Each structure stands twice: as C-alpha cells, then as structure tokens.
Amino acid sequence: MIRSLLGSSGGTGFSLTLAALAVTAALLVATLAGVGPSGFLVNIIGQLAAFALLALALDLIWGYLGILSLGHGLFFAIGGYVMAMHLLMHSFETTGTVPDFMQFMGWKEFPAYWAGLGVFPYALAVALVLAGVVALVTGWVSFRSRVGGVYFAIITQALVYAAMLLMFRNDTGFGGNNGMTGFSVIFGLRMGTETASAVLALASVVVLALGLVATRALVSGRLGRLMLATRDDEVRLRSLGYDTIVLKTGVWVVSALLAAIAGMLYVPQVGIVNPRILSPELSLEIAVWVAIGGRGHLVGAVIGAVLVNALKFWLSFAAPDVWPFILSALIVLVVLVFPNGLLDLSRGFGALKARMRREGVASLDPRRAGP
Amino acid sequence: MSALLIDDISVEFGRFRAIDRLSLAIDYGEIRGVIGPNGAGKTTVLDVVSGITRPKAGRVVLDGGLEITRASETLIARSGVRRKFQKPSVFDALTAAENVAVGVEGRLRRTAPAAEVRRRALDLLDAVGLADEADRQAGEFSHGQKQWLEIAMVLGGDPKVLLLDEPVAGLSDEETEKTAALVRSLKRPDRAIVVVEHDMGFVETIADRVTVLHEGRTLFEGSMAGARADARVIEVYLGR
Amino acid sequence: MLRIAAVLIGLIFATAAGAAPLERDPTLRGLCGNAAASGEAADRLLSATPTLSPDDLAFADAAIGGLLSKKLVCPAAPTDPVALKADTGAVDLATGAPLAALPKGKAPVVSLKNRAKFERLAAALALLAAPNAAARAAALEVLAKSAADVPADLFAAAAGREPDPALAARISSVADLASLYGTDIDKRVAAVARLAEGENRRVLTEIEALRADPAYASEPAFAAAVDAAAAKVSGAIAIGNAAATLYNGLSFASILFMASIGLAIIFGLMGVINLAQGEFIMIGAYVTYVVQEGLRALLPGLLDWYLVIAIPFAFLVTALIGIALEASLIRHLYRRPLMSLLATWAVSLFLINLVRVGFGTQNLQMETPFYITGGIAIVGDFIMTWNRLFAIGFAALTLAGTWFLIRRSGIGLDIRAVTQNRDMAGCIGIPTRRVDMLAFGFGSGLAGLAGLALSPIYNVNPQMGTNFIIDSFMVVVLGGVGSIAGTVIAALGIGQINVLIEPIWGAVAAKVIVLALIIAFLQWRPEGFFTVAGRRK
C-alpha cells in the first residue's frame, strides 16, 4: 500500500493520493449535506490538509533543491496573521460588534493599514505579496552570498525566532502574547458551525490537491531537473551558464507562497493566531514531517505531515507527556534507519538490511540521502 | 589575439600565495597542456578563469577584449568558457541524456524545443562513446564514464574556451588513450583548450604547447620535448 | 596654693582637651527656669555634648529624659536640689544621691517653642551614649532632619566613637550634609568637595540642587566649588556607566563564549551543528544542582563550595552524554549535516522532556555562596558584582584550558589535523573516529561547564538551553568555523553589541539587529573572520 502510494516515477502514488484527497473532499461535501463526518473530525481533516500543504512547501526546496529551511513558520505565520486580520475586520464589518482584540489593544478604530483587509481577495493579495517579498529579500540576499546548508538552516531559524520575539511584544501591534482570536464570521458564515468547519476543511483539501498538482508539474518538468542538478552540484551548474541564484530564489519564493496559503487555511480552523506559530520548534517539526514522509517526494511530504500530525492529535488526548518522546524517537529512527523516510519502508526490510550490510548505515542511499 | 589571456594574476589563501603574478596567453586552435607538481597552482588557475576564485590582483581577458576577472561563474560560462572539474561533477539524480541536455541549454529559460535539445545531447553522448547509456542514471556510472559524461556536458555549450582539469585522473591506460583521442577531436580553429594534467605522456600526445607551473609561477613554456629537456623542469619533477 | 594652681592647670588642660566638666547644678536650674532660660540651657548643653565625659552624658541623658517624661521635679525652694522621680523615692540629679523625700516642686513643662530643641538634644545624647545601634541610628535620623542646628563637632565625635562602620559612614554623610547647608561658606565649600568624593548619581542630584541655593549666586567660591564638584561627579558617573556597560557586555560575552566554544569545535571538526548544545548547558546546570543538594544532605559544611566541587561533575556528565550521542547517532551523519540538525534537535527534545519529567518545570533554587554575593564599587555607579566576575573568570579559565588542549596537547593536534583534512589525517594513522568522539565529548563538557557558570545567575529550568543555540551559532558563524580566537572575538563583539543596543531599543531589537548585522557580514565574508579560504576540492 505505502509502496504504491510512494511509487516514485510511475505516478501511481501521486494518483492514489489525489484519489484519497478526492474521497476526503466528497466526504466533506457530504458533511455539508448533513450526512458526513462530525464537526470535530472535519476540523482535524482541515488542519491536517493545511499542515500537508506546509510540508509540500518545505519539500519543494529541501527535497528538490537541497535547501533546508528551519524557518518556514515565518511564511506560515505571515499567511496566518493576515488571515486573522481579515477575519477580525470581516467579523467587525458584518456584525458590527467590536472585537475583544481592539479593546485589548486599546484601539478605538482599526489603524489605517488595516483598511480593506475585510475584503478577502485583497487580504489574500496582501498575504502573498508580503510572504513573497520577505522570501525574495531573504532568499536573494542569502543565495547571492552563497549561504547554504547548515548556515542557511540556522539563519532561517534565527529569522523565525527574531520574528517571534517581535510579535510577542504588545507594541508591535498584532496582539502580542495573546495574538488574535475571537473571529466570528468567515465568508459570511458563522464561525464554529458545522457548515463553516466543513467549508474550511473542504477548501484546505482542495487547495492541497491543487498545490500537489502544481508542484508536481513544477518538479517533473525541465525546472525540476535543474532543481535536482542544483542540489547535486551547484557550482557545476553555474559553470554551465545557469543563474542558480535566480532559480533558488524563485523556488524559495514559490515555497514561501505555499506556506503562506497554508497559514491562511490553518488559522481560521484553530480560531487563533499567536506568536507561538513562529516558534522554532514548529519550523523544525515541519522538516520532521518531510523527513519522515521522504524528502524529494511530494506525496511523501503530504503523507508524512498527515501521519505525524494525526499521531500528535491522538496522543495529545491520550498521553500528552509521551508525545515529545515519541517524536524524538521517530526522528532518530528516520535519521538512522530510514534516511528516505517511508520510502525506505516501502522498499521492504530485506533490501534495507542487505544495503546496511553492504554500505554501512551512513550511506544507505547516496543518491537520495544527499545533503 | 588570444582566446584567453591571463594577465599578471596573484591568488592568496590566507598567507599562502597560491599564484604569484602568473601570465598565460592561449590562442584559438591551440591545445595547451598545463603541468606541474602538486601545489603548483594548476587547478587554482582554472578556478580563477572560471570565476570560482577571485584573484588578489591581475586580470583575465577573453577573446582580446572581454574582461571576466570579477564576473560570476554564470556570466563567464555564458561568454563561452566551459570547464570540466577535477573531481567528475555530474548530476547523479539525472540520466546521462538529461545531464548533457542541461549542458546544451545553459539557461533557465528554454532556448530550443525539447526534442532538438535531446537530439543534440544524444549526438554528444555518441561522440564520447556513451550513446548506449543515454537513459541510465548518472549516479550509477563508473568513474571513467562520469569523466566522459562531464566532457559531453561541457561540450554541449559549444565552448570557445574549454578547460579540462585532469581528464584522465583515475582512468585505465585504455581509457586514457580513448580520452586522448576524444580531446584531440575537440580541437577546432575557433576553440582554445587548456588541459591540466599530471600525466606527462597524456599531455605529450594531445598538447601543442605546454606550460610548466611551479609554486604559482611559470617555470617553462614551449614544446613538450623542450620541457623534458629543461634543467629546471627536471629538477622540479625529479629533484625532490 | 600649689593645689589651687594644680587644679587650675588641670582645668586649663581639660578645657584645652575639650573635656570641661559640666556644671550640673546651674544647668539644672536653667532647665527649671522659664522658657527662655530653659531654651538657653538646652542650647548650652547641646553645644557641650561632643566634649562631655561619659558620666556627664549619663547625667544629661537622665535630666533631659526626665524633663521630657515629666519625672523631673524643680523644687519650689531654690536651696532644695533638683530631683528625679524614681520608681521608689527620688534622687538628687546633680549628685546622683538618693533623697529621703521628694522635694516640694513641680515638673517643668517644655514650651512648644523649645520642644524641637529638647528632642534634638535627646537625640544627640542618644547618638553619643545609647547602648544599642538601632537607638543610635534612630537618633541620627532625628538629627539629620535638622542637621544645620546641630554642632558640627557632635557628628565628628559620634562618628569617632561609633563601633558600627555603616552607621559611622551614615553619620559622616549627615555631617557633611549639615555643613553643606550650614552658614559658614568655607565649611560649605569643603563639604561640597567631600560630597563629590562619593561619585554616584544620588550625589550628583544633591550637588546640582545646590545651584538653586542663594549662596550659589552670591558666593563665587561656593559656585566654583559646586561646578567643579558637579563636573567631577558627572565625569566619574560617565566613566562608571561606560565601565558598567563594558562589564555587562563582557559577562554576557563570557556566557556566549562558553556556550559556543564547544559548538565551534564540533562544527569545525565534523560540520555538525549540535542543536542539543543548549541542552548540554541545561544538563550542566542540573548536575550543579544535584551536587548542591548532595552536599546539603551529606556535607553541609561544604555547601558554599558547591560551584567549585561541581566542576568535574558538570564536565564529565555532559562529556559522557556527548560521547554517547556521538557514538550512537552523530557518527552516522557526517555526510548529512542537515539530517544531523534534525537528529540533534530530537536529542534536545528528548533531554528537555526527560529533565522535565525528572525535576519538573519550575526554576531550581540555587544557593548564592558568599564569594559571589555583592560586589565592589569601582567608579561612579559601577559596581563590579562578584557573580558576573565569577562567570567572566570561569570563561577565562575555560578559554585557557581549551587553548591549552587544542594547541598544546596530543589530542589537540589530532583535532586540528582532522579539522583541516580528515582524509589526510586518516591516512597518516590518526584514529579520526576516536578523535571525533573525544572532541564531541570535550565540546559537550564545555557546554556543561557553561551551565555551571550560569546556574547562580540565570533561571535554571528544562527550557533554559533553548535560548542559547541561535546566539551560539551566530558566534560560530561570525568567528569562523573551528577558530578559538574567532570565537572569543565574535562572542565579545556580539556580547557588547547586545549590551549597547539593549538600553536604547530593547532586548528584542538587539537580537534582531545582531541578526541583521550577521547576515550583512556574511555578504561580505561568508567564511567568517578567521577562516582561510581554500580552493574547491
């Protein structure tokens, strides 16, 4: 089953995943008609889809370009915060009740730069432009000076950490420690109703499917080959006349946009955004989902995100203290025994053992284990 | 008018002077062998020309006018310089044909229809004797096959200046001979070829002229026979 | 005749020495007189207090105390002695002899006008003679309120015989204040100069207040003294502030250095960033805590020395954990540095939660031994605190030890060789894997020591390490991989920049600006300060 899901170039895994997403979407439509899964499950499905999209964004640059970002939470948060602003503004405009957030901030009215955020297309554009510009600047500056590998990973983590510190301050103007919450209306629907949850979850699943199709189109084409070439030997590629800085920055921006969209889908489903979305731990966890699912496999990233988070949701209820131990054990297992995540599992243990004997654990699969 | 003019360059790594006021001029239609003991600065010269290392002083000029001293690797490659690295550098995740196609296109933007690019890639693979391996993944290739694949890849850009860094390192005698024939066949009136090698015999078979480097400076320049007879060259190679 | 002469000479001498015996009876009669007479007697007594003998002091104290508590009896007949009511009967105040009967008379009432005068007098006597320090301190506070009306030599005398140094200092400063606001310009000028010796912000405020004093406008000498004193004190404060900033920066840098040196060695050697480095710091602090508790239970006499006794434990425990980590996990990841980030993060997650389960999430109570309590005032408001000096000194020792190990020992030579060229080092017979393991252990041990040095000045809890990894990596990036000198300079630089920016824009801005500076720096020198560029391998 996993094998066929992940089956690499044949595309069966891809088709199966799309089919699974289609079934999920159909179930959510059934919920809208009043016969599908219950509200809680719907909400979980929606959150998982948002996380899967986030994992997809990271896999694009890590799996295909070999650039690990430990700060993707930054773009996720940009989407999330802009969405929260949209929801507050939209709720205010439709119901007329002043949100707690404004009282908490001591505002009589929304500041000028909030103007228009109540209109969703504008909010979407703001989130994308903001995430895009931040990605463009950070990417261009880093890639231009050949910052890569571990350096890039830690610098992106420092970025997200600095952003978290900034947002924790009340005078930054986005709710500080408390963040933003108390959204009452989305697209004219009352938040918290079964319908709103199902619509949000459906939107997340559909966007995830679209994201999967789009990123697959990107990586399986000519640019995808150039991305792999950049990952394998960037200097070689540059010395053939390619401007890898443009390529890397471009893909970095695309990845940031996907992460921002994931954030916009995620925040209304949890009903709150606060600086903890910017914690280095979340950004590291994204990398863990991708590593567990299998780097360089878009479907793997989706499955990794869904499995790890489903486990996390379940354990958070069943045994909250155990989760960090399970997570660290999972990471060590993936790093030591299954460097390609579930992909290795799909290849069967027999082949794995033979490889371990032959090559030693460290270089299970030099082609994919790469950087 | 030189195809490639290296004018009075110096390179320093910390306090170590790897290249010391070196000048070299290579003409179109020429195959130049650059030899020298370990640490003579051979690879560093190629690094300077291909833009990987910035010299402390001096300049590199192409085609009698275009200065590339401080240009990026990308820009230098686009002005017609191609380099095969010492350690065979191919893209392991791509097939042989895809590798060469990457070399043929040379730009992020698509410049020619995919079918045409592939045809040209297959021609080049044929030229280096890898036609049968076109759709195998490069990661599975032997060392020698990688060397040839990389040569095919750099030829894809139709270079005016071709830099080959130790093309026969680690090859068997038979493979070396095959490579020598290949390099000779690359000689064209509108192309300058620089071959850096340890193997004096190989250089003798292919090079029109040789430059002997020692401690970052030119020790000798002329024919291979002349180099073999030169007292200083003998001392550098044998005297230590 | 001779006797008279001798008594006269004795009197002169006694007067010269300032110890004229009090004429008790006239004093008492004055106190018993009308408001004017009793006020005059009080003034005379007050001005005499500094030179009174202990006997006379006791007498005066009894008299004034009796007067204020209405136990003094002024006789109706001028020939009767002034008496003091005792619990049973009465005494002749002037002689101290018991009286058979309380003389006829009345207790004098202190007029409203004289009330303050008598209270001051009582305080002056208490300051000189009260047996307990608290009473003397209370008396001083009474006197300080009207210091200008107290004879200057009273304070000098009191300060001279005061056994408690803190109280003596306080008496002197009150005295200075008294002469500062007195009427004698020369004394005021001298007091200003004395005041300026205490170089801190409070003194500066006092000196600057003098500019509003009428004398500042009328007396050029006074004005000049005030201006000179203000300039001197503000100069010292500026120097003190600069020194304090440098000192704080230095202590922050020391902690940064200790947190990063292990990271730098490991990164240089193996290209592995150990994200669990912060947790090794945390473990070091917890080991220190365990040692502290162990001493408390077994050897309470040595409790104060737990910071010293814990040194080998903090180092060895973290080093062993590091070695175990290297042997089980890190060595499989040398060619996959990005995966090693995830793996070491997993370790950090594990360690945090293990400690959380074992010790709980609250901050640990660390003792503050006497040798890191308080500090020494250097200049201006700058106090060199011992706890920060401890961290700085500890970092200096760590630096010396690390330098010695890397530069002078056999294993250090191996570490340097493997850092520069792993393959070649392997070829000439250096056991690279063993070197990796030992170096990793050493780097981890250094983090443990950092935790020890931090434990008395930082909150010790399971999360404490997470704040360090980013700062430490910035130090490593800036200093150049695997360079001790680079790590020192980068730690100093980042430490000072942080401390300089913090008071202006806040701690968050400091972090953001340091990050921006480092990214800008990488544009200019991607290899860091101290790494030598090499050619493509």
pLDDT at C82: 82
Is residue A282 packed enough to be buried (19+ CB in 10 Å), middle (13-18) or exposed (0-12)? middle
Domain that holds residue C125: 16-182
Are C138 and C246 found together in one domain?
A: no
List of long-range contacts for C327-333, beta carbons under 8 Å, 24+ apart: C327/C437, C329/A332, C329/A335, C329/A336, C330/C270, C330/C272, C330/C274, C330/C436, C330/C440, C331/A362, C331/C433, C331/C436, C331/C437, C332/A335, C332/A336, C332/A361, C332/A362, C333/A335, C333/A362, C333/C272
Question: C215 or A297, which is more confident?
Answer: A297
Between chains, do A229 and B94 touch, taking CB under 8 Å as contact? yes
Best to test chain B binding among A239, A243, A297, A367 (most B CBs inside 10 Å): A239
DSSP B48-60: HHTTSS--SEEEE
What subunits make at least 3 CB pairs under 8 angstroms with A?
B, C
If asked whether residues C178 and C245 sit together in one domain, one would say no
The top-scoring range by mean pLDDT among A237-251, C154-168, C410-424, C430-444 is A237-251
Asked if residue C245 and residue C172 are part of one domain, the reply reads: no
Choose from B47, B52, B73, B109 for mutation: most chain A CBs within 10 A.
B73
| Residues of B in Cβ contact (< 8 Å) with C537 | 87
Q: What is the pLDDT of residue A328?
A: 94
> Which residues of chain C are at the A interface, by a Cβ-Cβ cutoff of 8 Å?
267, 271, 273, 329, 331-343, 345-347, 349-350, 352-353, 357, 466, 470, 473-474, 477, 506-508, 511-512, 515, 518-519, 522-523, 526, 536
Distance CA C158, CA C144 (A): 13
A101 vs B138: which has the higher pLDDT:
B138
Q: Residue A360: is its pLDDT beyond 80? A: no
Query: Which of A98-107, B175-184, C1-10, C505-514 is the least confident region?
Result: C1-10
The pLDDT value recorded for residue A342 is 79
- Indicate the number of domains in chain B: 1
Closest partner CB to A239 (pick from B73, B101, B110): B73
Helix axes C152-161, C165-180, angle to 10 degrees: 170
In B14-56, which ranges are E strands?
16-26, 31-35
Residue of C nearest to B45 (CA): C535
Could you tell me if residue C193 is inside a domain? no
Q: Is the pLDDT of residue A150 over 60?
A: yes
Per-residue tokens: C41: 């007697």
Selecting from A149, A324, A339 the residue whose C-beta is nearest the C-beta of C337 gives A149
pLDDT at residue number C534: 45
Domain final position from C136, C163, C182: C182
* Calpha distance C481→C473 (Å, rounded): 10
C307 part of a folded domain: yes
- Average model confidence (pLDDT) across chain C: 83
A335 interaction partners in chain C (CB closer than 8 Å): 329, 332-333, 339-340, 342-343, 346
Residues C140 and C260 occupy one common structural domain: no
pLDDT tens, residue by residue, C79-110: 777 888 877 778 887 777 887 777 777 788 77
pLDDT at A2: 45
Q: What is the pLDDT of residue A122?
A: 96
Q: Using one digit for the tens of pLDDT, what is the confidence trace for C325-357?
A: 999 998 888 778 888 899 999 999 999 999 999
Instruction: Tell me, yes or no, whether C231 lies in a domain.
Output: no
Return the SS3 of C73: strand
Confidence label for C195 from pLDDT (cuts 50, 70 and 90): confident
B93 CB within 8 Å of a chain A CB = yes
Give the whole-angstrom CA distance, residue A337 versus residue A345.
10
* The pLDDT value given to residue C78: 76
What is the per-residue pLDDT for A370? 37
Mutation site for A-interface testing, chosen from B91, B117, B164, B165 by largest number of A Cβ within 10 Å: B91
Tell me the per-residue pLDDT of A10-45, one tens digit each, with 9 for 90 and over.
Answer: 467 888 899 999 999 999 988 888 887 888 899 999
Query: Given A147, A235, A287, which is nearest C536 (Cβ)?
Result: A235
Of C433, C463, C493, which marks where a domain is finished?
A: C463
> Is position C522 within any domain?
no
Is the CA virtual torsion C350, C356, C362, C367 positive or negative? negative
- Counting every residue written for chain C, the total comes to 537
CB atoms under 10 Å from CB of C351, counted, come to 22
Measured in angstroms, the CA of C350 and the nearest CA of chain A are apart by 6
Check if C535 contacts B (Cβ < 8 Å): yes
Model confidence pLDDT, tens digit, residues A272-320: 999 999 999 999 999 999 999 988 889 999 999 999 999 999 998 888 8
Q: Domain for residue B180, yes or no?
A: no
Min Cα–Cα distance to chain C from B111, Å? 30
pLDDT above 60 for A233: yes
* A25 contact partners, CB below 8 Å, separation of at least 6: A202, A205, A206, A209
Show residues of chain B in contact with A241, CB under 8 Å: 74, 77-78, 106-107, 157
Q: Is residue C405 part of a domain?
A: yes
Domain hosting residue B135, numbered range: 89-158
Which stretches of chain B score pLDDT less than 70?
1, 238-240
* Candidates A225, A227, A236, partner chain B, best to mutate (most B CBs within 10 A): A236
CB contact under 8 Å between A232 and B103, yes or no, is no
Q: Which of A290, A229, A230 is closest to A258 using CA atoms?
A: A290
| Coil vs helix vs strand at A107 | coil
Which residues does residue B143 pair with via DSSP β-bridges, in sequence order? none
Q: What is the pLDDT of residues A112-132, one digit of tens each?
A: 888 889 999 999 999 999 999
Look at the block and give the residue holding tokens 């209270």.
C119
Strands (E), C313-354: none
Place of tokens 């009511």: C85
Q: What is the pLDDT of residue C536?
A: 41
Give whichever of A218-222, C141-145, C407-411 has the largest mean pLDDT. A218-222
Tell me chain A's radius of gyration from C-alpha atoms.
21
Cβ–Cβ gap B44/C532 under 8 Å: no
Number of domains chain C contains: 2
Phi then psi for residue C429, to 5 deg, are 95, 10
CA of residue B78 relative to chain centroid, distance = 16
Mean pLDDT estimate for chain A: 86
SS3 of B165, please? strand
Per DSSP, A109 falls in state S
Please report whether residue C195 resides in a domain: no
**pLDDT higher at C17 or C161:** C161
Assigned domain for C155 exists: yes
What are the residues of chain B with a beta carbon less than 8 Å away from any beta carbon of chain C?
13-14, 16, 18, 43-44, 47, 52-53, 85, 87
Question: Sorting pLDDT into bands at 50, 70 and 90, what band is C26?
Answer: confident
So what's the pLDDT on residue C34? 82
Write the residue in B13, B43, B85 that is nearest to C532 by C-beta.
B13
Chain centroid offset of residue C89 CA? 55
Provide the 3-class DSSP secondary structure of residue A17: helix
Mean pLDDT of all residues in C431-456: 90
Name which residue leads in pLDDT, A207 or C81.
A207
Tokens 């009191």 belong to: C158
Neighbouring CB atoms inside 10 A of C95's CB total 12
Nearest Cα to Cα of residue A176 among A120, A270, A105: A105
* Each residue's pLDDT tens digit, A311-357: 999 998 888 889 999 999 999 998 888 877 777 776 655 555 555 55
Give the mean pLDDT of A256-267. 98
Within 8 A by CB and 6+ apart from B41, the residues are: B11, B18, B19, B22, B213, B215, B216
pLDDT at residue A63, as a whole number = 92
Q: Does any domain span residue C427? A: yes
Say if residue C18's pLDDT is above 60. Answer: no
* Whole-angstrom distance, CA of residue C68 vs CA of residue C82: 15
A9 in contact with B at a CB cutoff of 8 Å?
A: no
Domain boundary among C438, C463, C488: C463
Inform me whether the pLDDT recorded for A214 exceeds 50.
Answer: yes
Query: Which chain C residues are Cβ-neighbours of B18 within 8 angstroms?
Result: 535
Identify the burial level of C163 via C-beta atoms within 10 angstroms of its C-beta, where 0-12 means exposed, 13-18 middle and 19 or more buried: exposed
Quickly state the pLDDT bin for C530 (edges 50, 70, 90): low
Quick one: closest CA in A to B52, which residue?
Answer: A235
Report the pLDDT value the prediction gives residue B88, as an integer from 0 to 100.
85
Which candidate, A19, A21, A18, A45, places its Cα nearest to that of A198?
A: A45
CB B32 within 8 A of CB B15: no
- Closest chain B residue to A248 measured between Cα atoms? B108
Q: Which tops the pLDDT comparison, C279 or A149?
A: C279
Q: Please check the confidence at residue A226 and state whether its pLDDT lies above 70.
A: yes
Please tell me whether residues C268 and C176 are part of one structural domain.
no
B87 CB within 8 Å of a chain A CB: no
- Decide if C462 contacts C441 (C-beta within 8 A): no
